[in-house]
Amino acid sequence: MEGEDWTDRVQVATKRCLRALDMHTPTEKLDPGFYRLCHDTALAKGYVAEGWPAIEPYLEANASIAQISYAHLHNTETKVWVALHTAFGCAIEDTYTTVPEDAVSGFVRRMLGGERQPYANLEKVAQHIREVSQHADELRAGLVTTSIFNGKIDLQVDRLMLERGVPRAAERFVEWCGLMSGQCEAFGMFVFPPDVPFHAFAPALPDMMIVMRNVNDVLSFYKEEKAGDAANQISLLAETRQISKLDALDMVTDDALEAHERSCNTLTADAQKAWIAFMRGYVAFHWASERYRLKEMKQIEA
């Protein structure tokens, strides 16, 4: 998009997210000590190694999301697990087209069948997923695992549909892919401390997933437009509905804020406290990360 007005619209959308969470411009930064802990843990587990997928280039950014988004949690080992999982996920998503298709398409089948993965580092990914039971009870661990599997399956779906295209009438397809690729259920399971029972937040999960996915899309839109990247929910929604990207941005923002309000009205008091703490950290992470380039825009105050 050309012109300066589109950046103003992005700033308005960002302000609306901040206002909904009663936030000003975030100031959080990555704690170097936490990053070192993540790096040392990855080294000790043999995750930092040559080959595909390479986790090291993604460690710092994903240590940031775990530290800032989950700052309200006390279990540091769980936050490290989330950081390493997210780093592996980003490494795979960014580079999966550089390896044979079966590396990703056969990942879930091999895990379920007890087979080794074709790359040593990919086997480390499988090993890391199996450790989720050390950080969540049986129910939550199951939902985390299925969400991770869906993320891998979505890469296959993307590959297939890239060759064939998506009919304009298939408006919900874009949303479905976004929910799978974002692994929102996996990240949502770690929002709540173990002493918050599952029933306290389960009814809000569908709305929470919409919030996480859409807020990420809103806060990613600036850097994606700058990079000319149209493979995102907002651009695809604009294409399928035959509207402008900026109108699609407003729609996605509206959906996020409405879903956030429903989530808050559904959650119990303790669960709501954890959810709001997470979302404030989630927004702050995007602001702190150079990946999203939000600081290139003029200072934003809610």
Answer yes or no: is pLDDT of 218 > 80: yes
Tell me the two tokens of residue 23: 């936030």
CA separation (Å) from 288 to 25, 70, 165?
Answer: 10, 14, 35
Residue in the block written with tokens 């950046």: 7
Render pLDDT for 30-66 as a digit per residue (tens, 0 to 9): 899 999 999 999 999 999 999 999 999 999 999 999 9
Tell me the C-alpha distance between 122 and 116, whole Å: 9
- What confidence tens digit (pLDDT) does each residue in 89-144 have? 999 999 999 999 999 999 999 999 999 999 999 999 999 999 999 999 999 999 99
Q: Which phi and psi angles does 5 have, rounded to 5°? A: -65, -25
Given a contact cutoff of 8 angstroms between Cβ atoms, the answer to whether 267 and 200 are in contact is: yes
Asked whether the beta carbons of 277 and 267 are under 8 A apart, the reply is: no
Q: What is the pTM of this model?
A: 0.92
Q: What is the pLDDT of residue 32?
A: 96
pLDDT bin (cut points 50, 70, 90) of residue 299 is low
CB contact at 8 A, 28 and 284: yes
Distance separating alpha carbons of residues 225 and 218, to the nearest angstrom: 11
Alpha carbon distance 220, 234 (integer Å) = 10
User: Can you give 139-156 as a three-state secondary structure string?
Assistant: HHHHHHHHHHHHHHHHHH
Q: Where are the domains of the chain?
A: 1-24+191-302, 31-156
8 A C-beta contact, residue 55 and residue 121: yes
